[in-house]
Amino acid sequence: MTLPMSDPTAWATAMNNLGMAPLGIAGQPILPDLPPPATRERPPGCKTVFVGGLPENGTEQIIVEVFEQCGEIIAIRKSKKNFCHIRFAEEYMVDKALYLSGYRIRLGSSTDKKDTGRLHVDFAQARDDLYEWECKQRMLAREERHRRRMEEERLRPPSPPPVVHYSDHECSIVAEKLKDDSKFSEAVQTLLTWIERGEVNRRSANNFYSMIQSANSHVRRLVNEKAAHEKDMEEAKEKFKQALSGILIQFEQIVAVYHSASKQKAWDHFTKAQRKNISVWCKQAEEIRNIHNDELMGIRREEEMEMSDDEIEETTETKETEESALVSQAEALKEENDSLRWQLDAYRNEVELLKQEQGKAHREDDPNKEQQLKLLQQALQGMQQHLLKVQEEYKKKEAELEKLKDDKLQVEKMLENLKEKESCASRLCASNQDSEYPLEKTMNSSPIKSEREALLVGIISTFLHVHPFGASIEYICSYLHRLDNKICTSDVECLMGRLQHTFKQEMTGVGASLEKRWKFCGFEGLKLT
């Protein structure tokens, strides 16, 4: 096969298919922006190409010589109209064959029209290619499904172990596991499965009842565990409250540092940027302090709501707790008595079953009849001894229950006496209020208008008594804010101004350090009044 340079179009097409810029003899590019040859859309899994423009005298051997350089050829279907279909072994060989599109082919040195032709290579649609591609896609889909299934099985939690069928031996094993705290959950699941399967019958009812009774005995353990966890939670709350109060104290110290730095004698020596930073820091610290203070006050309010304010209520609560404790003990004793009764019934049923089996054994003529009778007699003796012990325990529990009932009656009588005393005290208070009605009028005219103001006066008096040289209104309010954030500075100053015989205001300092301070003068005012 030769490529004559006299045909520039064929040469440019071939060079373009090979991805190279076509050049002439003088090195000049020929048709620089030549588009690639037009091809149809590539079918999926295409391994077959259509080759047109073959010379009329071209044979199958010549086609093989030309296209075997692209890859292994599986089949060639040649037509009489100067075209053929070539099927390759792999898909990438088709791309190589497409690069031969546009080449001119000539057989030998003949220039006859039957010995020359321009090749046109394009994708061809073949059933075999489509079938192989579909098979490959199905295989890939199967592999993907298998991979996903294996992944799901790997991530799936393991199935629970199968529950064994009921038998006397397995029943004894499960009964022992029910008494062990570490194996209780497994044994309970087995017991539940047996009951749902319908393993309970007249013969196995006593065994199932004993296992259910063992499960009931774990209720008390669970209640004790809950109480222990609640105790741990209370201790954690107390630690959190102590830590929060310590944090609040440190915040108060930091805020006091900012306030002292904001006073005139220190404030004048800072630069403008330093003053700005100090004011921003002060605001941030006060906001955080207020948030923590609100949280601590909320915790204290919850504790105060839980606790009673009156001593009589405390005594009644203690009595109620004692009564509830007695009631709980009585209920526990009742439960134990009921369980003992159920045990008695169970043992009676077992004795009846043994008697029935003994009667059956008498009727039947077995060689081991005497041994079975001896075993049954020993079992009956053991049952009778256990029954006697259970009856003694039952009598003891009944005696304890009667004692608890007597204690409960005494507690109820004491509660009635306390209620009568409380009613008498309320009547006396009502009579005293009627007699002291004019005194209330005089009290209403006092400068203290509410109980809250009286509490504030007491707290401020105690605070100023500790500070004999006086304190500023900001210092007093910062102390009061620890107790309640909602206290207003103006209200506090107005209240102290109304009580002239208790508090007095003085000016201290000179020049820039001039400051108003409040002092406690209650002892002097007491002499004057």
The DSSP line for 461-525 is HHHHHH-TT-B-HHHHHHHHHTT-TT--HHHHHHHHHH-TTTEEEEEESSGGG-EEEEEE-HHHH
**Predicted confidence (pLDDT) per residue in 285-313, tens digit:** 888 888 888 888 888 777 777 665 554 55
Mean pLDDT of 25-34: 43
Q: What is the crossing angle of helices 311-363 and 369-435, to 10°?
A: 160
**Is 430's pLDDT higher than 90?**
no
- The reported pLDDT for the residue numbered 499 is 85
**Predicted confidence (pLDDT) per residue in 4-14, tens digit:** 433 445 445 55
**Is 437's pLDDT higher than 90?**
no
**Is 218's pLDDT higher than 60?**
yes
Taking every pair of C-alpha atoms in the chain, what is the biggest distance, in angstroms?
A: 148
Q: With beta carbons less than 8 A apart as the criterion, state whether 337 and 401 touch.
A: yes
Least confident range from 169-173, 335-339, 493-497: namely: 335-339
**Predicted confidence (pLDDT) per residue in 324-367, tens digit:** 667 777 777 777 777 777 777 777 777 777 777 666 655 555 55
Q: What share of the chain is helix, strand, coil (3-state, %, to 5)?
A: 65, 10, 25
**Predicted confidence (pLDDT) per residue in 457-486, tens digit:** 888 888 888 888 888 888 888 888 888 877
Mean pLDDT of all residues belonging to the chain: 80
Mean pLDDT of 488-512: 81
Residue 336: which residues within 8 A CB-CB, separation 6 or more? 397
Mean pLDDT of 447-465: 83
- The reported pLDDT for the residue numbered 319 is 56
Mean pLDDT of 122-131: 93
Spatial distance between the Cα atoms of 354 and 370, rounded to a whole number of angstroms: 15
Mean pLDDT of 196-218: 89
**Is 98's pLDDT higher than 50?**
yes
**Is 23's pLDDT higher than 60?**
no
- Cα separations in angstroms, 466 against 315, 412, 419, 462, 487: 36, 49, 43, 6, 21
Mean pLDDT of 490-512: 81
Residue count of the chain, please give it. Answer: 529
